[in-house]
A and B are shown apart, each in its own frame.
Chain A
C-alpha cells in the first residue's frame, strides 16, 4: 500500500510518498508556498508520482497537514501538524520523548509517551518571536540567505542579547545593535538565542530527553545548539527535518487508527 502525506506549511509545501509494505519513503519533494495552494500541492504531488513511477490510483490514501491543510481538497482528510510531526519523528527516531518543531509561522513542543503517542503539546499563539518568521525578517533586513545567516551565527563567540520579545520591536533593536558596532555574527547568534528562549518558555516543564528538533528551522546550523543551551539537555536534529510533518501525514493515511476526519 502506498500513501501520501502533504504538509502545506506557511512557507513551503512538502510531500512524501510512503510504501507501507517496504516501510520506506519512495519519494519526497518540496515547493514554495503561494496563493494557489492546492494547485501548488497538486503539481508537487504529480511530480512525486512521476518520480516514483506511479499513477494516482496506486495511492491508497492522502492526508494533508500544516497551516494550509484545509485548502488541499484532493486529500482524503486532514490531520494536524502535532499528530503528524509526532508520527513522523517517532517513525524516524522511536526513542524521541520530546519534539521541538519550529516552522515558518509557528512553533510547537510535543511530549511523547512510549509508542510515540502524544502525551501533551504546546503551541505559540499570538506571537511570531519563536518562529522562523523572526529569522526570515532578520535575513531580509540583512539581505542574506538563511544559509549565510546560519554560517554567520556559527562564527559568534559572544551572542548579543536581544531583549525585545516582539519581532517588530526586535527588528529596531537589531538595527540599533548593528549601528552600535556589534559584530554581525553576534547579532545573528543573539537572534537564534532569542528564538530558542521563546520556544523554551513554551516547553515549560514537560521537556524529557531525548529531544528531537524538527521543522525547516532545524536545518539552520546553530539553532539546535541554542536550544540545547536553553533547554539544558542535548537536542538532536531529526533526519530530514522539513519532511517529518509530511511523513507523519503519510503514516497517518496508512495507519488504521488514523484520527477521525476533520469536519472543517
Chain B
C-alpha cells in the first residue's frame, strides 16, 4: 500500500484503487474510486487533474466530493442544516458546538462550474438572475440554491454584512429576494486602534480597537441565539468553549501539516491536495470529526514520506508562495508541471488557521478570531503577513491568483505584489484564473514558467 509518492491521472487512479482494494484498503462510508464522481456527479474536471497517489489523498478527495451527499443524509437524519455565507471559519465553530447541527458553506459552490466544467450551466443561470460575469464565480451559488440539485435547502442561512466584498453582498441580497431569508450579522472593517483607544490583540499579530471587538461579540451573540433556537438547545459558554477546542484540533493539525509540507526540502504532498486540505478549516466540509480523521491520515502520510525522504517533487523545484484560492483547480497542477512547488499559502482565510484563544470568554475569543479575517482589514495587513510567511518559508517567488469578478481582490493584488517586491525582494506575478482556464493555459503557463525560471536563475548568483 505504501507506494512511493507520485501524481496520478484519474485513469491511473482507477488501477491504483483496484490494487489498493486487493491489498485490503479500508475506507470510510463515503469511500470509493474517484472515477465515480465523474460518472455520478459529472465532475468532469477530475479527468484533467493529477492527484496524489496515497490512500490519505483518496480519502481527502472523497471527503470533499461527497459533501452534498453528506448534507442530504444529515437532513434525512433530522439534523439542522445551517448555511454560513461569507464567513470563513467563525460561525461554523459555533454551529458545530451544538448537537445535531451541520454548518456548510454555500459559497463553496464557486468550485462547481470548475468541477463540472460548466456542464451544470450554473453561471449562465446566474446571469439570468441578473448576476453576470462581472461578478465572482461564487454567483454559481444562486442557481444551486434554486435547483436543489447540490446542497439541501438550509434551515437557517447566516451571512455577514459590512466589510465584505461588494459582489458577494449583491449576490446574497439577490438570494434573499429570491425567497431565501438570511440572518445578517455585521462585521466592521478592521482598523488599527487610534491613539488613546483600548487595543485588543487578535490572532495573527493583529490588533483592533476594543469597540470593534465589542461590536462583533454582540453580533455573534445574536448569531448564537439564532443557532440555539434552531437547535432547540442552549448555546452556553461551556458548549462554545468545547466547540472552540474541537475547532482548534482541526487548526492544530492543519498547522502541523502546513509546517511539515512547506518547510520540507522537497514537496511531500502536491499543491492541489494542500489547497483542498486547507479548505477544510472553513467549515469542516460538513463533518468536523471526520475532518480531524482525514487530516490525521494526511499528516501520517506526510510524516512517513518525510522520514523516508520520498517526495512528489525534487528539491530543485522553485519555492512558490501562493496567494488566493484558484477558481480552476488545474492551476495547482500546472505550477508543479512547470517546476514550482508550494512553500506557503494564503488562501484568504489565514485567520481560520490561527488558533482561537482558549483563555478568553468564548464569544470574545470568536469575535477576535473573526476580526482577524484577512479579507476585512487593510490589504497592507494581509500583505505584511504574506511577506513574513514568505521569509519564514524561504519563498523564491509569489503568485497572486486573481478570481475574475471578485471585488475583494480588485486592487489588493497590486498592494501585495508591491510589498513582496520591496520587503521580501523576490519576484511576484498576478494571474487571473477563471473556473475553466483551458483557453488561457498557454498564457498562464508562460507566466508561471517564467516565474520559475526567474526564481531558479536567481539561485545561481
Contact = CB atoms under 8 A, between A and B. Distances in A.
Given A83-B453, A257-B457, A262-B339, A123 B428 contact: no
Interface in B8-26: none
Contacts of A115: 461
A115 B460 CA distance: 12
B446 A121 contact: no
B431 A257 contact: no
Contact of B449 (A106, A119, A257, A262): A262
Contacts of B446: 67, 80-82, 123
Interface residues of A, number: 27
A259 B456 contact: yes
Contacts of B452: 259
Of B440, B446, B458, chain A has the most CB atoms within 10 Å of the CB of B446
B457 A264 contact: no
Of A67, A82, A115, A257, chain B has the most CB atoms within 10 Å of the CB of A82
B198 interface: no
A115 B447 CA distance: 22
Contacts of B432: 125-126
Interface string B417-444: 0100100000111011000000010110
Interface string A90-132: 0000000000000000100000000101111111011000000
Nearest to B447: A123
Interface residues of B, number: 28
A120 B421 contact: yes
B374 to A, nearest CB: 23
A264 B461 contact: no
A119 B450 CA distance: 11
Contacts of A181: none
B384 interface: no
A57 interface: no
B428 A120 contact: yes
B427 A119 contact: yes
Interface in A177-231: 204-206
Contact of B440 (A81, A126, A206, A260): A126
Interface string A61-94: 0000001000000000011111100000000000
B363 to A, nearest CB: 44
A264 B432 CA distance: 20
A257 B453 CA distance: 11
A247 to B, nearest CB: 17
8 contacts: A82-B446, A82-B450, A119-B427, A120-B428, A125-B431, A125-B432, A264-B445, A264-B449
Interface of A: 67, 78-83, 106, 115, 117-123, 125-126, 204-206, 257, 259-260, 262-264
Closest 8 CB pairs of A and B: A82-B450, A80-B450, A259-B453, A120-B427, A118-B454, A83-B453, A257-B460, A80-B449
